[in-house]
Amino acid sequence: MRRRVWGTAVALALLPAAVTVPAAAAPGAEDRPLPLERLFDNTAVSDDTRPGEADFDGSGGSLSAQDLTAAGWTPGRSLTVQGARLTWPRRVPGRPDNVRADGQSVRVRGHGDALAFLVAGTGGGDESGTGTVRYRDGSRSSYRLTASDWRGGPLATKAVALPHVNTPGGQLTEKARLYVVTVPLVRGRSVDSVELPHNSDLHVFALSVRSETRGWTGSWAASTSGYTAVGPWTDRTLRLVVHTSAGGPRVRIRLDNTFAAAPVRIGSASVAVQASGASPRSAPVPLSFRGSEGAAIPAGAQVFSDPLGFDVPADSNLLVSFHLPGTVTAAPVHSLAVQQSYVSTPGDHAADAAPDAYTSTITNWPLLTGVDVGDGPGSVVLLGDSITDGEKSTRDANRRWPNVLATRLLNQSVVPRYGVLNHGISANRVVTDRYPGDGVSTDTGGVSALHRLDRDVLAQTSARTAVVFQGVNDVRWGASAEQVVAGLREITDRAHDRGLRVLVATIAPCEGEARCTAAADAQRVAVNRWIRSGSGFDGVLDFDAVLRDPGHPARMLPAYDSGDHLHPGEAGLAALAESVDLKLL
């Protein structure tokens, strides 16, 4: 076993595009693929009373079965993370529950856009290796898998963090991490089996094919920007107001328990078109989850509601209501909603057609991260910061620049009327986490664009194009142009590996704002010079040129300035949206 000191490098799961190579000779009987559970050769989970029955890392360390249960990760539990369904091993504590990667051939069947691995490393740092995917047509492709360390890896990218590490000498109060990593597949081919890499410090608990989201278009989305104290809410119903882009004849919602340490229970849920405030146009229609009225969402996981025949109008407000029957003291939220939503008095009021029970208001979006509609041409994902998030736009008016872009798409027939998914987070950066990715925090600036790329772009419903408009917060807080360029280049490469188009926008001017010093502006100008070179991506949106004052290029044009010199006002936001060449999307 190798031991390495954990350094400052962060595991980003940077993966090359799958390349098809000639088919190999048919494997012999001894090499036939087996289900992963038949290959388990390591024990990672122990009961707290018998920690010596597991040795995950070769030094006696193991995961606590009690901690896993508290997180909702029970044996045999199906978990959906980043759109992929994975099953936590159906094993009692002290029995083999994972595979040390050593080239094993695993039977995995399915058709989709990515392989998802539930993994962790035990060598003290990032653990990597190259494996092979075999397809039903006899072809194969290679992939590179990187797993972060179970005790020292980044909390920002973990699927779940447990509060303890079990050892033969006693339980340590130390975070144990598990990760979900996805790697690209050759599109249009059906997977037959997967050959694992050769690296015994890379442990695989589960893997599956992430199905493509055919038949759905993302209409609305929001990123989880942090995990904050809420309420507390006991037996309350949330009625959240969201604004659609594309419309369609069916609907489903996505709820995410991102960054959480414990499960959250959804008692019931419904959807309706808003009339005004908490009042629907007609009675809310119940949603279901795998045939049930409600669902329990394990820590770090997500749930999609079942498809519902429901006419979702484009460019309109929906009311998404869900009952929280237990006590919720903290929740994953999108902080800057620029939208008022509602909290009820005690009771399940998801089906209420009257607004009377909704006596309190909130201005964030807890738990809800997506609304998809049936059919449609796919979606454009906007990865950004507060300018994309809608800072300085009028609350409840839907005048963020992504809203204006969505309206432009709906009012033309030159290109398909794509859905527009707003994944802006106020205060977010390209290369540095604001929120550390674990625990309750008042900081809702999110994990970095690099760390949230898989969740907020690559796993989004029917994503076809990513528009990246970030970097001003990096340079304002001391990042160099070289660091920002490296981050943008990595985002572009990873998105291209998944078959997405990538458009990159230049950073807007901000002289006059306290942190927009001459030194910061010099870095901004250098980043923009690189962006305008069009290096490796599919198009440039010159937002700097749209917003700047021609007579003073380091400043925003006064007509577009909200007054703080950093954020455009509504005229500036509209100018950004109007400047986009729709044919690039």
Kindly write down the DSSP assignment for every residue of 10-55, as one continuous string. ------PPP-EEPPPPPPPGGG--B-GGGG--B--EE-TT-GGG--
Tokens of 7: 């350094």
Do residues 62 and 120 both lie within one domain?
yes
Q: Is residue 8 part of a domain?
A: no
| 281: exposed, middle or buried (Cβ count in 10 Å: 0-12, 13-18, 19+) | middle
pLDDT band at 17 (very low <50, low <70, confident <90, very high): very low
Q: What is the pLDDT of residue 535?
A: 85
3-state secondary structure of 544: helix
Beta-carbon contacts of 125 under 8 Å, excluding residues fewer than 6 positions away, are: 4, 5, 6, 7, 9, 149, 152
CB atoms within 10 A of CB 415: 13
Do residues 241 and 163 both lie within one domain?
no
Q: What are phi and psi of 380, to 5 degrees?
A: -105, 130
* Percent helix, strand and coil across the chain, each to the nearest 5: 15, 40, 45
**pLDDT, average across residues 525-547:** 97
Query: Average pLDDT of the chain?
Result: 94
3-state secondary structure of 351: coil
Q: What is the pLDDT of residue 15?
A: 39
CA 535 to the chain's CA centroid: 26
Do residues 43 and 111 both lie within one domain?
yes
CA separation, residue 394 to residues 98, 300, 329, 370, 426 (Å): 51, 32, 29, 22, 15
Q: In this structure, what CATH number is given to the domain that contains residue 478?
A: 3.40.50.1110
Q: Is residue 3 part of a domain?
A: no
Q: Distance between CA atoms of 45 and 483, rounded to whole angstroms?
A: 39
For residue 232, say if its preceding peptide bond is cis, omega within 30 degrees of 0. yes
CA separation, residue 183 to residues 192, 447, 454 (Å): 16, 21, 10
Between helix 401-410 and helix 570-579 the angle, nearest 10°, is 40
From 548, 566, 506, 500, select the one nearest 530 (Cα to Cα): 506
pLDDT(5) > 50: no
pLDDT(527) > 90: yes
Do residues 302 and 420 both lie within one domain?
no
Q: What is the pLDDT of residue 9?
A: 31
Number of domains in the chain: 3
The residue out of 334, 365, 396 marking a domain boundary is 365
Q: What is the pLDDT of residue 384?
A: 98
What proportion of the chain, given as a percentage, has pLDDT over 90? 94
Specify the range with the lowest mean pLDDT, choosing from 410-414, 533-537, 554-558. 533-537
Do residues 449 and 514 both lie within one domain?
yes
Residue 563 near residue 557 (C-beta atoms within 8 A): no
Residue 22 near residue 132 (C-beta atoms within 8 A): no
The residue out of 365, 386, 419 marking a domain boundary is 365
pLDDT band at 11 (very low <50, low <70, confident <90, very high): very low
**pLDDT, average across residues 80-85:** 96
Q: What is the pLDDT of residue 214?
A: 87
pLDDT(26) > 60: no
Do residues 238 and 199 both lie within one domain?
no
Q: What is the pLDDT of residues 182-240, one digit of tens each?
A: 999 998 999 999 999 999 999 999 999 999 888 999 999 999 999 999 999 999 999 99
pLDDT(31) > 90: no
pLDDT band at 453 (very low <50, low <70, confident <90, very high): very high
Do residues 358 and 390 both lie within one domain?
no
Q: Is residue 190 part of a domain?
A: yes
Query: In this predicted model, which residue has the larger pLDDT, 84 or 17?
Result: 84
Q: What are phi and psi of 470, to 5 degrees?
A: -145, 165
Q: Is residue 352 part of a domain?
A: yes
Q: What is the pLDDT of residues 476-492, one digit of tens each?
A: 999 999 999 999 999 99
Q: Distance between CA atoms of 542 and 526, rounded to whole angstroms?
A: 14
What number of residues does the chain have? 585
Q: Distance between CA atoms of 449 and 447, rounded to whole angstroms?
A: 7
pLDDT band at 147 (very low <50, low <70, confident <90, very high): very high
Q: What does the CA dihedral 313, 315, 318, 320 come to, rounded to 10 degrees?
A: 100
| 293-318 per-residue burial string, b: 16 or more CB within 10 A, e: under 16 | ebbbbbbbbbbbbeebebebebbbbb
**pLDDT, average across residues 399-403:** 98
Q: What is the pLDDT of residue 12?
A: 37
**pLDDT, average across residues 354-377:** 98
Beta-carbon contacts of 71 under 8 Å, excluding residues fewer than 6 positions away, are: 160, 162, 261, 262, 263, 298, 299, 300
The residue out of 211, 245, 265 marking a domain boundary is 211
Q: Is residue 403 part of a domain?
A: yes
pLDDT(536) > 80: yes
**Beta partners for residue 129, in sequence order:** 145
Do residues 405 and 458 both lie within one domain?
yes
Between helix 481-497 and helix 518-532 the angle, nearest 10°, is 30
CB atoms within 10 A of CB 542: 14
Full residue range of the structural domain in which residue 436 is found: 377-585
Q: Is residue 88 part of a domain?
A: yes
CA separation, residue 467 to residues 188, 315, 415, 423 (Å): 25, 20, 17, 10
Q: What is the pLDDT of residue 8?
A: 29
pLDDT band at 268 (very low <50, low <70, confident <90, very high): very high
Do residues 357 and 248 both lie within one domain?
yes
Q: What is the pLDDT of residue 212?
A: 86
Do residues 416 and 558 both lie within one domain?
yes
Q: Distance between CA atoms of 43 and 55, rounded to whole angstroms?
A: 6
Q: Distance between CA atoms of 278 and 419, rounded to whole angstroms?
A: 25
pLDDT band at 58 (very low <50, low <70, confident <90, very high): very high
pLDDT band at 14 (very low <50, low <70, confident <90, very high): very low
**pLDDT, average across residues 515-528:** 98
Q: Output DSSP code: residue 62.
A: B
Q: What is the pLDDT of residue 1?
A: 36
Q: Output DSSP code: residue 156.
A: G
Q: What is the pLDDT of residue 29?
A: 39
Q: Distance between CA atoms of 169 and 575, rounded to whole angstroms?
A: 63
Q: Distance between CA atoms of 201 and 58, rounded to whole angstroms?
A: 9
Residue 251 near residue 216 (C-beta atoms within 8 A): no
Greatest alpha-carbon span in the chain: 75
Q: Is residue 219 part of a domain?
A: no
Q: Is residue 307 part of a domain?
A: yes
End-to-end CA gap in the chain: 48
Q: What is the pLDDT of residue 91?
A: 97
Do residues 246 and 175 both lie within one domain?
no
What proportion of the chain, given as a percentage, has pLDDT over 70? 95
CA separation, residue 566 to residues 31, 360, 422, 509 (Å): 60, 32, 19, 7
pLDDT(3) > 70: no
pLDDT(4) > 70: no
Do residues 188 and 327 both lie within one domain?
no
